[in-house]
Structure 1
Amino acid sequence: MMLIAPNTLPVRGRPMEVCQLRTEAATISCDAIQRLGDQLQALRESGNPIRHFEGFEQTVNALFNQAQQDFLAEALAELDIDTPAIEVSGITYKQVLRSYKTYQTAVGSVRVMRTLYRNGKEPCIVPMELKAGIVEGFWTPRAAKQAAWVVAQMSPGEAKSLLDLMGGMSPSESSLARFPRQFNTQWEQHREPFEEMLIEKLNVPTNAVTVAASLDGVMLPMKDGKRVEKRARSASEGKRTQGPTGCKEASCGTLSFYDQQGERLSTVRIGRMPETKKLTLKQSLSALLQEALRQKPQLSLVKVADGAKDNWSYLSQELPAGVEVIDYYHAADHLKKAFDQAYGENSIKSKEKFVTYRHVLKEELDGVERIIK
């Protein structure tokens, strides 16, 4: 039986003691690098002179990616443990299976032989995955970070198109769609300790003199919101059928730091969905602000939001004293509606007034007073 030295790492969103072999590090073969050199030399000789550079560039990219995949597959295989039993934190796990599995790296998928161990009826553990920090049994750490970023910016289909175009990893659309749901499940189960770690990493810029706290929300139709059924039921009961039926609130909050000249230095962004009244978001924003003011108590606080009552009951009553500002975008939106009411919706005069006075609102020191007058 092989004894394992423990090392605490987050695995699948939870702390777990990870096995590390007490042996000298194995040397990874340089075969992949040698093959790459030979292939590049052959490509250069066959394409001299280069007639279609786009195709040449694509081939070079593919060759480098393949070399990286081979190298990473070898490195992952070196992390595997093949022995009848292992002991982790005093618990014995027996080998139950050795088989190949495909993993997604930042340069493409790799297929690796790995060993599974089990203790009784508990779920199997895979030492290689734990040692490498494999996320959700599929993504390498770097690939997981990249996948999380792209699906936060665009739909899974658009994310796949972008990754295919870049020529690195190319996970399926369904894998990209599943990943944020899997990530969310793990995050919610351990949200408080995870957020504590993020708060500890908050770094207020040394030349920051102002911190701005802001939050907002928007009602979004939910896939399982049963919008049609709810409106039909409301109609049968004689109630209004307008409004955000079948919708739930998505909310976001920011903490931004500014220098003496009003230039933004950095911003921390947090979001939640779905959640009524932004309850968890407000707690997270308050904790971040508290840490910022602990690091730099002399920061001036500015609170920014639209005119929603719920935003200001939080900003005014639950945060420390500070300057309160209706954000320009929403103020301008109300200004536009006011001119439409006065001069006709989207009339020439309404548009002219709006262009003139939105500039006054934003740029002139007494702009707010002039607009109200």
Structure 2
Amino acid sequence: MANLLCRALESILPPRLRDWGLAIRYEIAEIPEDTKALLFALESVCGLAPRAIGVLLLQPFISLFGAAVHASRAGANSGFGALHSPRTVGALCAVGAVAMGLVYMTLAGAPVGYLGVNAGSLVIGLVLRALVSRIPGAGGRLSGALIFSLSLLLLATAILGLRIEGTARWIGFGGVFVQPSFVLLPLMLVGFSRTRTPLATIGMVVAALAMTLQPDRAMAAMMTTALAAVTATRADRPTSMAFTASLLAFVVTLLRPDAVPAAPFVDQLLFSSFAVHALAGLAVVAGLAMLLVPAIIGWSCDKDSRATYFAFGSAWLAATIAAAFGNYPTPVVGYGGSAILGYVLSLSALPRPVRSRVGSETVPPDDPQASRDIHSKIALA
């Protein structure tokens, strides 16, 4: 346990502090008693982990600022250079969208706890995104296995999840309800746009079955729209099979009754927010528009990965439209941490930062150094 704690700490430490993690591991190796070694490891984690997490949270802002400075020194278009990484811009957009949601909920008189849930979900999402970004890019077989595993979780939610008005979309953790489809499905869709292995295709079919059983029209619409975007840009047999399954699932959800009532501060905010205050409505619109910015930037900057950015933007646009016309959660700006986690995690599935030409120089990607230690991956998981 002490060894795993140290390896986990070392994996999240920034490069300039990583020697401290290595020194702690050597120190623990010299402690003969296991209990003392574990206590020393716990004290070390408590001392260094907050600083490491703080650096991880600031990394998107540091990367964006560093890119802007690099571009300005090159004497060219500094704005374009600063936006070379859709992942980084997406993290900033997530922060902005959550902030707009907090503005809306404050003007609408939402409980203070609602604001804390959204802000806390953003912090957790950014930490998870930073940790996932440190893992080296997985191969197609591993990505397919991940998509398939996540689809089984969605299917388990449809069978064993909390039922409200005949629908099973949620699971509960100590009074906090999470919608796994909103957390996992965007990540699966963006990942499938890049990895269309047989196992990944089966995973998408299982996910479509889960959306049918829940049933969830909004997530089925998100799935169908994103896979349609992938099919339109990069058609092949796996994509066509996944799209057909999602389309059938969407049709079935339209035929099945969905009587879940609208929840305050969650559903149909795009229009109802203007009844609260004009500023509240503008905040909701601005926050929802921010969700699509990474897709727009990626589409224009990275022509080789347009299918992925098209799928990302289509998925979140579909979720927004579904929330506007049905009793479904308004993504990111409405109350609830599931969409916030789903949005930030889906950013980690986007391609690595593209290299943007600025004059005669090349802006380096802000790809953090990745730990290839298998023990670190196990501890991180």
Q: Which has the higher contact order (CA 8 A, sep 6+)?
A: 2
More strand by share: 1
TM-score past 0.5 threshold: no
Q: TM-score of the superposition, structure 1-length normalised?
A: 0.20
Higher helix share: 2
TM-score normalised by length of structure 2: 0.20
Structure with higher Rg: it is: 1
